[in-house]
């Protein structure tokens, strides 16, 4: 126990702790929307497309996360535009953006002279090296998400549940679809440093699946998801530090074990009734 308290005297560990808390807030809330609305695959497309921006960032010498943000938002809009206006099947549209982004990223990383530092940390995450300015951005995003989902809770719920009905009630469905797409993109990009592009989808789906075992109510599912995401991230962070294994992968592993445990306990307790 004392060793854990001692860890908090290191700046890098405080940052990692803050990152896991803020990742849990943004991913827990936005992930509940993603899972409920069944747009996990779209989110996967946006995540991988953002790699194009990271490659471009390296090549142009700007912050890779800035490039990733632009690519994520553009691909999110592009997927919607392709399938609604271009009459491309939605899953094909997602796959096009998904692979196009990855391809652009690989080409730019290849063209960047010399070694691309920290490339692995964008792909697989590195919570122990998150900087203070990145924490600041994650904090701002979490505040925006909490405000947005609190203020427009019912509008978001109704649109997600039955889009057609929401349209007949004159709710601004298109506006909200785009705003939520932007929030999904930002959530993905700012959490890339925590678990990486390859693994970010897990933070948006596994805590939600765990929460869904215990509740089938949108609002409660958001709270539980934040809780489970934080619990697993913090335990994963500690395990990865002490066992000296990659943090991103350890966090995901903890998420899955937590999901299995909750599912098991629920199954046993409901079979005893």
Burial class (CB in 10 A: 0-12, 13-18, 19+), 237: buried
The verdict on 240 binding another protein (CB under 8 A) reads: no
Number of Cβ within 10 Å of residue 127's Cβ equals 29
Rule CB under 8 A: which of 70-89 touch another protein? 87
The verdict on 227 binding another protein (CB under 8 A) reads: no
Query: Rounded to 10 degrees, what is the CA torsion of 259, 261, 263, 267?
Result: 180
Our CB check for another protein shows the closer of 6 and 162 to be 162
- Give Cα 85 distance to the centre of its chain: 27
What are 171's two structure tokens?
């709710």
The verdict on 153 binding another protein (CB under 8 A) reads: yes
What is the maximum span of the chain, computed from C-alpha positions, in angstroms?
Answer: 65
Q: Which of 144, 155, 177, 182 binds another protein (CB under 8 A)?
A: 155
Our CB check for another protein shows the closer of 25 and 235 to be 25
**Nearest distance from C-beta of residue 252 to another protein, angstroms:** 23
Rule CB under 8 A: which of 11-40 touch another protein? 32, 36, 38
Alpha-carbon span 228 to 25, nearest angstrom: 10
Q: Which of 161, 242, 257, 260 binds another protein (CB under 8 A)?
A: 161
Contacts of 13 (CB under 8 A, 6+ apart): 7, 128, 241
**Nearest distance from C-beta of residue 79 to another protein, angstroms:** 19
Residue indicated by tokens 């960032």: 57
The verdict on 41 binding another protein (CB under 8 A) reads: no
> Of the listed pieces 39-47, 77-85, 133-141, 148-156, which binds another protein according to CB under 8 A?
148-156
What are 150's two structure tokens?
């609190």
Number of residues that bind another protein (CB under 8 A): 31
**Nearest distance from C-beta of residue 215 to another protein, angstroms:** 7
Residue indicated by tokens 């271009």: 86
**Nearest distance from C-beta of residue 126 to another protein, angstroms:** 33
**Nearest distance from C-beta of residue 61 to another protein, angstroms:** 43
The verdict on 178 binding another protein (CB under 8 A) reads: no
The verdict on 175 binding another protein (CB under 8 A) reads: no
Burial class (CB in 10 A: 0-12, 13-18, 19+), 45: buried
The verdict on 164 binding another protein (CB under 8 A) reads: yes
The verdict on 158 binding another protein (CB under 8 A) reads: yes
Between helix 218-243 and helix 200-214 the angle, nearest 10°, is: 130
Residues that bind another protein (CB under 8 A): 32, 36, 38, 87, 150-155, 157-158, 160-162, 164-172, 212, 215-219, 221
């Amino acid at each position: 126990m004392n060793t854990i308290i001692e860890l908090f005297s290191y700046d890098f560990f405080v940052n990692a702790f803050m990152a896991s808390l803020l990742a849990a807030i943004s991913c827990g809330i936005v992930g509940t929307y993603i899972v409920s609305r069944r747009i996990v695959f779209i989110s996967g497309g946006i995540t991988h497309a953002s790699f194009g921006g990271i490659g471009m960032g390296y090549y142009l010498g700007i912050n890779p996360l800035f490039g990733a943000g632009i690519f994520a938002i553009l691909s999110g809009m592009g997927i919607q535009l392709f399938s609604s206006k271009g009459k491309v099947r939605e899953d094909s549209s997602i796959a096009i953006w998904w692979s196009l982004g990855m391809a652009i990223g690989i080409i730019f990383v290849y063209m960047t002279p010399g070694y691309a530092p920290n490339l692995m940390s964008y792909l697989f995450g590195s919570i122990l090296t998150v900087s203070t300015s990145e924490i600041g951005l994650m904090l701002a995003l979490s505040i925006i998400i909490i405000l947005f989902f609190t203020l427009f809770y019912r509008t978001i719920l109704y649109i997600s549940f039955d889009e057609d009905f929401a349209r007949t009630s004159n709710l601004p469905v298109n506006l909200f679809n785009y705003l939520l797409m932007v929030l999904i993109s930002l959530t993905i990009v700012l959490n890339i440093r925590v678990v990486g592009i390859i693994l970010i989808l897990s933070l948006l789906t596994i805590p939600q699946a765990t929460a869904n075992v215990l509740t089938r109510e949108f609002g409660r599912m958001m709270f539980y998801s934040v809780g489970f995401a934080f619990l697993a991230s913090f335990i994963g962070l500690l395990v990865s530090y002490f066992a000296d294994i990659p943090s991103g992968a350890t966090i995901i592993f903890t998420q899955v074990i937590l999901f299995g445990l909750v599912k098991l306990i629920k199954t046993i307790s409901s079979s005893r009734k």
